[in-house]
Every structure is written in structure tokens, then in C-alpha cells.
Structure 1
Amino acid sequence: MDTPQNTALMRALTELPGPLPARGVIHIAIRHTDRFTVVGNHLAQHPTLSTTAVGLAVRIQSLPQGTEIGIKALAARLPEGEKLVAAALRELEAHGYLQRARTRLPNGRIVTRTVFCNQPTALLRARVAVRPPAPPQAPPPVQDPAPEPPAPEPAPPQAPALPGVQQEQAPEAPAPQDHAPFVALVPPPTAPRQPPPPLPQPRELTAELHRAATALLSDLRRHAPRFTLSENDVRQLAPAVAAWLERDAHPDAIRHALTNDPPRLLRHPAKLLKHRLATLLPPPLPGADDLAAPARPRIAVTPFQTCDGCERAFRAPNPGHCRDCRNAHDPAQAAA
């Protein structure tokens, strides 16, 4: 045969549970038992780090403790050149994964110590607070002489902590510590769960709305095979889809909102559709009166009039004489 076929890979592909996606990557995950490195998605899917920086970070994370990871040492074992390796190291240093500090050795020699942290965001959490030592107290009087127990050996001095590096503690005789209060980001399984939101209902479920909603739900498997619903599921979800159609939502927009970006292991598509129908319900479209600009209030303006006596312009609701002409003809009427 001209083209070799990987029969083992194809056999493993046929043994994957559930329907496979029509396009995109298909993962065949085999658990590692030795020689593996755990890499977080915060690094593997970093939005701003270059692919070279991500790959170099994975390579550094897989190296044993004490391995030289300078620019020349990495470029000697990688196909990338020194300029590309130096640029990737600067990226990792800018995002907190790498730190290079100059340290003076006991013999007076100055060296550059490179520190790599696989999860720099964890260094921003609450640190462990050490309880201050209690003041010394006078020992109680000894009644009978007894052999004193051997004094505990003093703990070896620790190196000064570098910023961005988590210091490891000795396994023997740990000192008493007071830990900062732990805030759980994920509620425990025993926590009371909030009831799911109810499914939306249309104001009037007409026969035409029910037919269109049923057809849309039954047709989902043609566009996304993972959303194959039973007749009972379609019957329960049809009123909620009718509520979307009643609010002038386009069928294509409804289909995209229900089937876009599903979880990798979708075991109950009807539950996911029920959640999305309840939480993503669009508001009703505004009417023409709601979109019209508000009318400005009209201000009443007193018009100009021409005086019948002196033909001078003055403001008055009705034609007549101006104030001067009224004063000249009848001062008592002008005053009134």
C-alpha cells in the first residue's frame, strides 16, 4: 500500500462513546502512568502568549530541578535560535511565569537564578500567616529531679524568599500556623441548590406557533446530531420555543442560541435546551411608539400686536393700544 494506515487509531476512534462531531478535533485521551507533566489551560490556551512561548514554557516545566535554562542552553537543544528563545523568555517573564534574579553566592560570585512558576495566579491568593512566638514564661518548680528530655534541634535557616517563588517547607516538625480563611469558589455538593428557572410560556399557544416550535425542535438533529430529542422532550419544550417565536425571534437565531458551543460530554441535551430556553429568552420587540422620540413641550409665546394709536409693536394676546397710549387716554384704566 502507498499510504500507511494507522489501524490502532481508527479502531480507538470507533470505540469512543456517543456521537462524534462532524468537524473539528476529536480527542482520544489515554491516561498517562509515567513520564508526564501537568499543564494548566491558563498556559496552553493563553490568549496573548505566542505559540513559541507556550511551547517553551511546557518544555521548561518538564525539565528536572536544577537544569540550566539560559538562552544559550535552551537554544543548544531546541531548533529555534537564540533570538526566538530570548523573545519567548521575555514573554513568559512579562506574564509572571518566569523570573530572573541576580544572586551572590557565598564565595562572592554573582550568578543569575531563573525561577519558573507553573501557576503565577496562585501566588496572588492569601498567603499563610505565621503566628508570632509567645513570650517566654518562667518554668514551674521541679518537685523531683528527673532526667530532662533532649532539646529539639533548631530548624535549619531558610533562604530568603524570592518574589514570585513559593518556598517549600521541611517535612519534619512543621511549625504551628494560622491559615487564612479559605473561600470556596465552587459550592460543596451538600449545599442547597437553587430551583431551576421555569420554562417560558407564550401568551397564546396557537396551532401555528405549536407547529412551528415542534418542527424547529425536531429539526435540531439535522444541524447538530448531538441534539437528538425524543417525542416527549419535544412535547415539553415546544411551548418555550413558541414563546421565543411569539417575540419575533428568527428560527435560525433560536437554533444558534440553543446549539452553539455545547459541552464536550453532552449526556442530556433536553436539560441543556431547557436551561437555555429559560435563561436566554429575548425581550419583546419594542413597538413603533416606543422607538419614537419624545415630543418636546410647547411653550406658549405671546404674539406681537401693532398699536392702533401709535403703530408701535407690543406683545399682547389681542389687538389694541400699547401701554403708553392707554395711559394717555385713560390713566385709571391703564392702572387697572
Structure 2
Amino acid sequence: MAYDDSNVALPTAAHPLANPGYGKRSASDPLPARAVTFRHLPAREAYVAGFIDRLPDGAAMDAKTLAKALPLYGQQAVRTALNNLSATGHLRRVRLRAEGSDTGTRWVFHTYWSRTARDNEWWARLLDGDVPGAEPDPVAPRAPREPAPKGAPSDVRPKKAGPSPAYTALAQLGRTEPRLTLSAADCAALEGLAADWLARGSDTTQLLRSLAAGLPEQVHSPRALVQRRLRDKMPPELPTPDVRTPRNLMECTDCGVPGRPEALPGGLCRTCRDAGAGAATASHAALSADVVRHRVDQLRIALREPCRT
């Protein structure tokens, strides 16, 4: 049964804030606040959602703190309402790795709130940093090009870059071992192979030592011998390190167990989903239609009265 006015005014100005870096975070949401925003929800969930929606970012979002501010429901009822709001796509609890922590790995905990009910895929994108609906940053205007000084040449050529480390190593090879003296053309032709050595973790000292070790008494073609050794003694490729950016984690709205979004559909782990389904079934079976109508009437009367401070 839906509640007719879920956005009834409730005192939010004095609601406590969470510690810096914690608490409520508003997700990207173009839907404006209206009196019928949460009419699709049951009375309790609409009542809690209307209050949360008006809280500022950084407000405390734990069930105990919310229950102290809500006159109609206790802590357990608010906790159940939060679970249901998570299942319907209005909120997710997320733990984020804190940047620049000097004490090792540190996490901060947010409760992301969306006035619009979102599906699991939308929340997964938000968790990975792809905020749906966010406008890209405008391109910064380019500074106008200053005219060249009067009398300066119109086409100033850039300075020529120096030789690469691979070319330099081959050029120094003849000084280390005169039998392997290479010409400039030889160094240019073999530069690519020498660069592969350096890219695989070898330094120039190892490169020169490997090329000059165990030479015959006479070397008739230094370029051919160096080319053969560069190919035959090429070190193995280093394995690419599996460097992964630490990914943020979602939390079960009820018990707080961390996991990826695909493991927490509706923001709840399997245990809490099963427990919630069983409790809902038992509650519906125990309450008759007359009892439900009576409680809703009491709720409406209480909300028409001045709010307690």
C-alpha cells in the first residue's frame, strides 16, 4: 500500500553528519523532488526515502542515527526499510580506497543515494567510476599563438634529439672491443635489435659484455657477427606485471559484507536476500487487511501532527 504524501516535511537541519569522507553521497540524478516521487514505495519505505532525500551530502546514514530522527519507526524497522530501498534501486553502500593514506590501506564508506530507482547495471557503472549522466568537462580554450618576434626566422627548426641508448651502446662497442668496431651505418641498422635488448631489462654494460665475450682471433665482418649475436643471445621478454587499479567495492546494505556488484544484486548478499524474503512472507501472512489499514491510518494521523523536535 502506497503512502499519498511521502515527502512530508521532516526536520533534517539538525541531523548529524558522518565523519569527514563518510555518509550520504548523492548520485547523478536529473529527477526533481516532487510530492509523488516515492509514491511507488510502501508507506514505511516512502517515509524513510523522503527523509533521506532531503539530507545533505555527508549526513550519517546508519540505521541507528536515522531511527533517532524518525518519529514513527524504530531502528529495526528503519534497517529493513533501507534494505528494501536498496533492493528497489535507490541506494547502495560502497567502500572506497582512500587516496594518499600514510597508514597503509584505508577505506571510506559512502551510502550513495539516487532519487530515481536504478538497476544493478547502473550502480555497477557508478562503482567503476563511470557516472551515468555526468557531463564531460568542457574543453579548455586554447591560448592564442603569440606572433614571432620581429626579425626572428619564420620557421625555427627544433633541436635534433641525441642518439638513442641502443645506438650509443653500439657506437661504444668498438672502444670496448676493437674487433667489433661498427660504422655509423652499421649502428643505425642494428639499433632496433639493441633496443629490444634494453627493452627486455638488459643495461648497456650487459649488452656490450654479451656481444664481446668469446670472440674468435679474427673478425672479418663485425656487423654480421654483432647482428648474429644480437639475435641468438636475445634475452627473454619480461612478463608483464599484472598491475590492476584497486577497484572499489560494494557492501551489502544489511550486513556490510563487501563484494562486486554482480555478487550483490539489489545491494544485498544472498543470505540477507533470503532472510528478507522469508521475513516479508511471514509478515504478510500474519497481518490481515484490517490491521494494515488501521496502521496506515495511524501513520497518516501522526504525519499530519507537528513534527517533534
Please identify which structure carries the higher helix content: 2
- Where relative contact order (Cα < 8 A, 6+ residues apart) is larger, the structure is 2
Using structure 1 for the length normalisation, give the TM-score: 0.26
State the TM-score, normalized to the length of structure 2: 0.28
